Amino acid sequence: MSQDRKPETTTDQDDDPNRVVIFDTTLRDGEQSPGCSMNLEEKVSVAQVLEEMGVDVIEAGFPIASNGDFEAVNVIAKRIKNSTVAGLARATPKDIDRAGEALKPAVRPRIHTFISTSPLHMKFKLQMAPEAVHQAVIDSVGHARNLCDDVEWSPEDGTRTEHDFLCRCVESAIKAGARTINIPDTVGYTIPSEFAALIEMLRNRVPNIDRAVISVHCHNDLGLAVANSVAAVHAGARQVECTINGIGERAGNAAMEEIVMALRTRHDVLPYRTGIDTTVITRASRHLAAITGFSVQPNKAIVGANAFAHESGIHQDGMLKNAETYEIMTPESVGLVRSKLVMGKHSGRHAFSEKLKELGFELKQNELEDAFFRFKDLADHKKDIYDEDIIALVDDAVLRHNDHIKFLGLQVVCGSKGPQTAELELEIDGRHAKAKADGNGPVDATFAAIREIFPHQAELQLYQVHAVTGGTDAQAEVTVRLEENGKSVNGQGADHDTLVASARAYVNALNKLLVKREKTAPAAMTA
Which residues of this chain interact with Zn ion, rule CB under 5 A?
29
DSSP 238-304: -EEEEBGGG--STT-B-BHHHHHHHHHHTTTT---B----GGGHHHHHHHHHHHH--PPPTT-TTTS
Among 178-186, 232-240, 397-405, 465-473, the segment contacting ligand KIV (CB under 6 A): 178-186
Task: Tell me whether residue 154 or residue 180 sits nearer to ligand KIV (CB atom).
Answer: 154
Residues of this chain, 97-126, that bind ligand KIV according to CB under 6 A: 114
Distances (CA, A) of 6 to 1, 148, 149, 335: 11, 12, 11, 31
Distances (CA, A) of 304 to 189, 208, 280, 432: 26, 42, 15, 40
Nearest-angstrom CA–CA distance, 169 and 175: 10
Q: How far is the CB of 116 from ligand KIV (least distance, A)?
A: 8
Q: How far is the CB of 398 from ligand KIV (least distance, A)?
A: 30
Task: Tell me whether residue 10 or residue 25 sits nearer to ligand KIV (CB atom).
Answer: 25
Q: How far is the CB of 7 from ligand KIV (least distance, A)?
A: 25
Task: Pick one of 35, 184, 252, 439: the residue that binds ligand KIV (CB under 6 A).
Answer: 184
- The verdict on 477 binding ligand KIV (CB under 6 A) reads no
Task: Tell me whether residue 29 or residue 95 sits nearer to Zn ion (CB atom).
Answer: 29
Nearest-angstrom CA–CA distance, 57 and 450: 40
Task: Tell me whether residue 29 or residue 389 sits nearer to Zn ion (CB atom).
Answer: 29
Among 180-188, 351-359, 455-463, 472-480, the segment contacting ligand KIV (CB under 6 A): 180-188
Task: Tell me whether residue 114 or residue 294 sits nearer to ligand KIV (CB atom).
Answer: 114
Q: How far is the CB of 478 from ligand KIV (least distance, A)?
A: 31
Q: How far is the CB of 110 from Zn ion (least distance, A)?
A: 16
Asked if residue 460 lies in contact with residue 513, where contact means CB atoms within 8 angstroms, the answer is no
Question: Pairing relation of β-strands 109-116 and 151-156?
Answer: parallel
Task: Tell me whether residue 29 or residue 396 sits nearer to Zn ion (CB atom).
Answer: 29
| Number of neighbours of residue 384 by Cβ within 10 angstroms | 15
- The verdict on 186 binding ligand KIV (CB under 6 A) reads yes
Residue 464 main-chain phi, psi, to 5 deg: -135, 135
- The verdict on 243 binding ligand KIV (CB under 6 A) reads no
Out of Zn ion, ligand KIV, none, what residue 156 binds, judged by CB under 5 to 8 A for its kind, is ligand KIV
Task: Pick one of 9, 11, 154, 446: the residue that binds ligand KIV (CB under 6 A).
Answer: 154
3-state secondary structure of 516: helix
Q: How far is the CB of 115 from ligand KIV (least distance, A)?
A: 9
Q: How far is the CB of 362 from Zn ion (least distance, A)?
A: 31
Map 4-73 to HEC letters: CCCCCCHHHHCCCCCECEEEECHHHHHCCCCECCCCHHHHHHHHHHHHHHCCCEEEEECHHHCHHHHHHH
Q: Name residues whose C-beta falls within 8 Å of residue 46's C-beta, 6 or more positions apart in sequence.
A: 26, 27, 38, 244, 284, 287, 288, 291
Among 182-190, 393-401, 489-497, 514-522, the segment contacting ligand KIV (CB under 6 A): 182-190
Task: Tell me whether residue 43 or residue 219 sits nearer to ligand KIV (CB atom).
Answer: 219
Question: What size, in residues, is the chain?
Answer: 527
3-state helix, strand, coil in the chain (%, to 5): 45, 20, 35
Q: How far is the CB of 114 from ligand KIV (least distance, A)?
A: 4
Task: Pick one of 31, 42, 156, 403: the residue that binds ligand KIV (CB under 6 A).
Answer: 156
Task: Tell me whether residue 162 or residue 317 sits nearer to ligand KIV (CB atom).
Answer: 162
Nearest C-alpha neighbor of 422 from the set 400, 451, 397: 451
Task: Tell me whether residue 82 or residue 92 sits nearer to ligand KIV (CB atom).
Answer: 92
Task: Pick one of 21, 26, 29, 458: the residue that binds ligand KIV (CB under 6 A).
Answer: 29
Nearest C-alpha neighbor of 355 from the set 366, 371, 334, 333: 371
Total residues contacting ligand KIV by CB under 6 A comes to 9
Sequence-ordered alpha helix ranges (H) in 54-129: 67-79, 93-102, 119-120
| Number of neighbours of residue 505 by Cβ within 10 angstroms | 28
Binding site for ligand KIV (CB under 6 A): 29, 114, 154, 156, 182, 184, 186, 217, 219
